[in-house]
Amino acid sequence: MKRFMSARTRYLLLALAAALLAGIFVHIYLSGVARRVPVVVAARDFEAYSVLDAHLVRTVLLPASAVHPASVSRTADALGKTSLVPRRQGEQILASSLVSGDDPGEYRAGLRPEERALCLPAEVVLGGWLGVAPGDYVDLTVVLDGVSHCLAQGLEVLDVVKDPSTPFSGGRVQAPLGVFLRVTPAQAERITLAVEYGKVYFSVLGYAGVPVPASGARLQDLYGGGEVETDVLWP
């Protein structure tokens, strides 16, 4: 009889434990269903590489259990960024699918449709881009057949390519391999032609630098001190 009661007691305790666990799981599930959290979703269908604005995304409240761990919770964190994937209306926006032109190496996201990122290797520009950093603005000048011309002013440096095999050390400035500049196709044509047939120099703009009218210079100007007006190539 004692053995029988002991077995029955064990079964009862197991049943109570199982019921308690089931109750806990149900409580956790219902808590997740009841608790709603903000999440950013697509307000309408859009294609990959779309720049998100207030017409493409909105914030809704969803059950916590239905929200992806990588979803964006604030609209401000999505606006202005580029979606690398297409989304359908109502789909959650994931942080891993967004890039910004401010992110290192993601300058493509900040290019307008009519703009390009022109790569100029260090060996084709006098000075080799020493001291230039992303976010700087530069002017390009070409010297060809004894005449100098301003090719373009205020070109934004989108990225500086460094050689990973020669890390910064000993306080020395690492020479870049090249840069990417924000240009239009027309500017890219003139710059690459100048690189091919002339010598190209760069100047770094100051914080308050603005485009100014530029005059070309000829060899005779160096001796006479005069100026010879030429066509301004600022686009």
Domain that holds residue 174: 112-224
pLDDT of residue 235: 43
Task: Give the N- to C-terminal CA distance of the chain in Å, as an integer.
Answer: 102
Measured distance CA(204)–CA(207) in Å, rounded: 10
Q: Are 153 and 138 in contact (CB under 8 A)?
A: no
pLDDT of residue 234: 39
- Is 55 part of any domain? yes
More confident residue, 40 or 36: 40
Same domain? 84 vs 125:
no
pTM (whole model) above 0.85: no
Same domain? 133 vs 218:
yes
- Is 196 part of any domain? yes
71, β-bridge pairs: 94
Q: Are 176 and 166 in contact (CB under 8 A)?
A: no
Q: Is the pLDDT of residue 206 over 80?
A: yes
Q: What is the mean pLDDT of residues 180-193?
A: 95
Judged by phi (left if over 0) then psi (alpha if -120 to 50, else beta), residue 135 lies in left
Q: For the chain, what is the domain count?
A: 2
pLDDT interval class at 49 (50, 70, 90): confident
Q: What is the pLDDT of residues 138-181, one digit of tens each?
A: 999 999 988 999 999 999 999 898 876 665 555 556 778 999 99
- Is 75 part of any domain? yes
> Cα-Cα-Cα-Cα dihedral of 196, 201, 207, 213, to 10°?
-80
Same domain? 134 vs 206:
yes
Q: Which tokens hold the place of 52? A: 């998100």
Same domain? 52 vs 144:
no
Computed over its alpha carbons, how large is the radius of gyration of the chain? 31
Supply the DSSP string of 97-122, one letter for each residue: GEE-TTSTT-GGGG--TT-EEEEEEG
- Is 21 part of any domain? no
> Cα-Cα-Cα-Cα dihedral of 73, 74, 78, 80, to 10°?
180
Same domain? 92 vs 151:
no
How far is C-alpha 99 from the chain's CA centre?
Answer: 5
CATH of residue 62's domain is: 3.90.1210.10
Say what percent of the chain tops pLDDT 90. Answer: 44
pLDDT interval class at 230 (50, 70, 90): very low
Residues 6+ apart with CB under 8 A from 98: 52, 72, 78, 81, 82, 83, 84
Same domain? 76 vs 122:
no
- Is 5 part of any domain? no
Same domain? 63 vs 138:
no
Which residue, of 75, 99, 123, is where some domain finishes? 99
Of 133, 205, 202, the residue nearest 174 (C-alpha): 133
Alpha-helix runs per DSSP H in the chain: 2-34, 185-197, 219-224
Same domain? 174 vs 94:
no
Same domain? 53 vs 127:
no
Q: What is the pLDDT of residues 1-26, one digit of tens each?
A: 445 456 667 666 676 777 777 777 66
- Is 11 part of any domain? no
Q: Which of 76-80, 91-95, 231-235 has the lowest mean pLDDT?
A: 231-235
pLDDT of residue 228: 46
